Amino acid sequence: MPIDWNDLEKDMDKAAEDGAEKTDEKLASKISSITRLTDEEIVELFPEPSDVKKLFELMKIVKSGEDRNNKINKIVDNSEKFAGIVVTLLGKLT
């Protein structure tokens, strides 16, 4: 089933407006619904809502229909923003 990134982004933005504690739970739930991570793992790995938003942005690039080189270029263009997310994810995998 293809992911509607625009609808998902709208849901994430709305969740971010609902308040800190609820935001953390809603953002984690949105991310966990499209990954193999649980809500609890998302909150543990990315306790700050801003980090969850960065994770979402990175996932949106990776899962886009663009070719591999365009994806790489977008990630490189945002490498400083995504660096912490990448380190956290790779730490989880190793």
Find, among 81, 77, 93, 86, the residue nearest to 36 by Cα: 93
Contact 18, 24 (CB under 8 A): no
Residue position matching structure tokens 């969850």: 52
pLDDT at 80 over 80: yes
Give the least confident one: 48-52, 62-66, 82-86.
Answer: 48-52
Contact 58, 35 (CB under 8 A): no
What is the Cα–Cα distance from 57 to 77, expressed in whole angstroms?
13
Confidence of residue 71 (pLDDT cuts 50, 70, 90): very high
Per-residue pLDDT tens over the stretch 1-48: 688 888 888 887 777 766 656 656 777 777 777 778 888 888 899 888
Ordered by start, the domain boundaries in the chain are 5-93
Confidence of residue 73 (pLDDT cuts 50, 70, 90): very high
Task: Read off the tokens for 62.
Answer: 């990776």
What is the Cα–Cα distance from 10 to 27, expressed in whole angstroms?
12
Contact 31, 3 (CB under 8 A): no
